[in-house]
Amino acid sequence: MPYHATAHRPPWATLPAPLRTAIGDRLGAPVVAARVAGAGFTRGFAAVLRTAAGGRAFVKAAATAEHPRLVDWYAREAAILDRLPDGLPVPRPRWTLHEAGWFALCLDAVDGHTPRLPWDPAELAATLSGYADVAAALADTPAGLRELGPPHLAELARDDILWWGEVAAGREPAPPLPAPVRDRLPHLVALESRLPAYAAGATGLIHGDLRLDNVLIDGVGRAWFCDWTWLCQGPAWFDLVTLLLTAYADGLDADAFFARHPAAADAPRDALDATLAALSGYFLTTAASMPGTASPHLPAHQLWSGEQSLGWLARRQGWT
């Protein structure tokens, strides 16, 4: 999966002139260069901007009428980033603005790159170590974030993530499955059904969408964690599973990385299996649908993620 080139974004020059002027005014000088972000799976504008005065900033923007959901997501991300504890490796918000029917969010620019695939050992170690710090800082929900009313992973799982039960009940068509897994639907239903109960007791917060393309490695090798729209209450080991899908796909010992990580210290014995079952059903059954906010690369990413989740689970369960 070419995570560095999955986005489908408008170039800076196509944004309304009043919006470009307003952004330059807020940055203190006209924008003279824009490096559009290649990673991500939305159609929103996102770029590192450089001004005539030498300033740099990362700006996201979306049209209110055309992409209202993106506008809501960017506004929510701004509120979340503003309340995350100090000292964490996350981009900090500067300002938001409404202009010419668009909403824009400005963040500090992180001078970094999406982790390389196959995973570079040092970059993977930095990412796992950095997430351990994030998980520890969010283990007790900060008051400011609690005021935003973040959803609970247990509820999200019941409402939107658990799909194998829908397939078993005939309410959702079965996605194509490899031969060793075709007769395992009852097992998949049983495993995924444990996720809400496992998540229900969590009191901390998690990123909620921790993929490789939401990580940046800076010039000194530190990992930064971006795109915080999907913050929710839940166990940190859930984030760890979604992050490690690419490690499994690279042939690395993802089981060992999971078991050794502090975020998994209190995970139930089969939390990894329950999460993989839920993720495989979610990704495989939603791969055929693409919201209007999405990059055209999203279906391929969903399918790939579902295949990796199911392959990892099948190997752990001895189904292969």
Picking from 10, 119, 111, the residue whose alpha carbon sits closest to that of residue 63 is 10
Amino acid 301: pLDDT: 87
Domain boundaries, the chain: 3-107, 112-317
Those residues whose C-beta lies under 8 Å from the C-beta of residue 139, and which sit 6 or more positions away, are: 203, 204, 236
* Overall pTM > 0.75: yes
State the architecture of 3-107 in CATH terms.
Answer: 2-Layer Sandwich (3.30)
Peptide bond just before 118 cis, omega within 30 deg: yes
Amino acid 32: pLDDT: 98
Amino acid 37: pLDDT: 87
Amino acid 299: pLDDT: 80
Per CATH, 3-107 and 112-317 having the same topology is answered no
Using N-to-C axis directions, what is the helix angle for 298-317 and 271-286, rounded to 10°?
150
Identity of the amino acid at 199 = A
The single residue listed with the structure tokens 């990362």 is 58
**Distance set, CA 196 to CA 114, 156, 210, 222 (Å):** 31, 8, 19, 33
Amino acid 300: pLDDT: 84
CB-based contacts of 156-160 (< 8 A; 24+ apart in sequence) = 156/232, 157/195, 157/196, 157/199, 157/278, 158/196, 160/282
Identity of the amino acid at 187 = H
State the chain's mean pLDDT as an integer: 93
Q: How many CB atoms lie within 10 A of CB 263?
A: 24
Distance in angstroms (rounded) separating the CA atoms of residues 38 and 46: 9
Task: Show the low-confidence residues of the chain (pLDDT under 70).
Answer: 1-8, 38-41, 288-297
Distance in angstroms (rounded) separating the CA atoms of residues 297 and 59: 22
CATH number (3.90.1200, 1.10.150, 2.30.30, 3.40.1620) of 112-317 reads 3.90.1200
